[in-house]
Structure 1
């Protein structure tokens, strides 16, 4: 595989990782905002703890899934992005 394609693969991979982790950050912020807003309304301590624990589980599993996804992408990025690049180049050539 030549350096130009390797650079394109690496750029696509980095862009996907940045977007995935930015989404994780946004989910953490959104869940945190909603949790803080809801906790001020709730009076029952049991429900408050259920909300805290379920919110923590939500962000934990979401973060873990993005971590696993980016790890998998890193392991197979030549195959995953190589196929994308091949199709993108074929589509560009067909449009000309």
Structure 2
């Protein structure tokens, strides 16, 4: 379960970076002034840095509390399976 969450998080980070960079490249020619371009680049960098940091912090928290977090999921899944039998 943890590895699946890590893979999903990494995929989300890659998609986020690809999307932001794609939008930046596609709109770059339509931004008329250098000052506005600077603001757009700084804003895009802030979004990328803070969202990436938040996802990495979440993964770090998951790693630290892996037994507790996923233990509850496994326990509840086992209880659900036993109830259906």
**Considering the TM-score relative to the shorter chain, is it more than 0.5?**
yes
SS of residue matched to 2:30: coil
1:60 aligns with 2:49: yes
Question: Equivalent residues in 2 for 1:12-91 (5 A)?
Answer: 12-91=1-80
Q: How far apart in 2 are the matches of 1:57 and 1:92? A: 45
CA distance in 1, matches of 2:84, 2:44: 47
Deviation at 1:43, TM superposition (A): 1.0
SS at match of 1:43: coil
Structure 2 unpaired stretches of 5+: none
Unmatched tracts of structure 1, length 5 or more = 1-11
CA distance, structure 1, for counterparts of residue 63 and residue 16 of structure 2: 23
Work out the number of aligned pairs and report it.
85
Aligned equivalents of 1:13, 1:21: Cα separation in 2? 12
Structure-2 separation of matches of 1:94 and 1:51: 54
Q: After TM superposition, what 4+ stretches of structure 1 lie above 6 angstroms from structure 2?
A: none
The offset of 1:60, in angstroms, is 0.4
TM-score (norm 1): 0.85
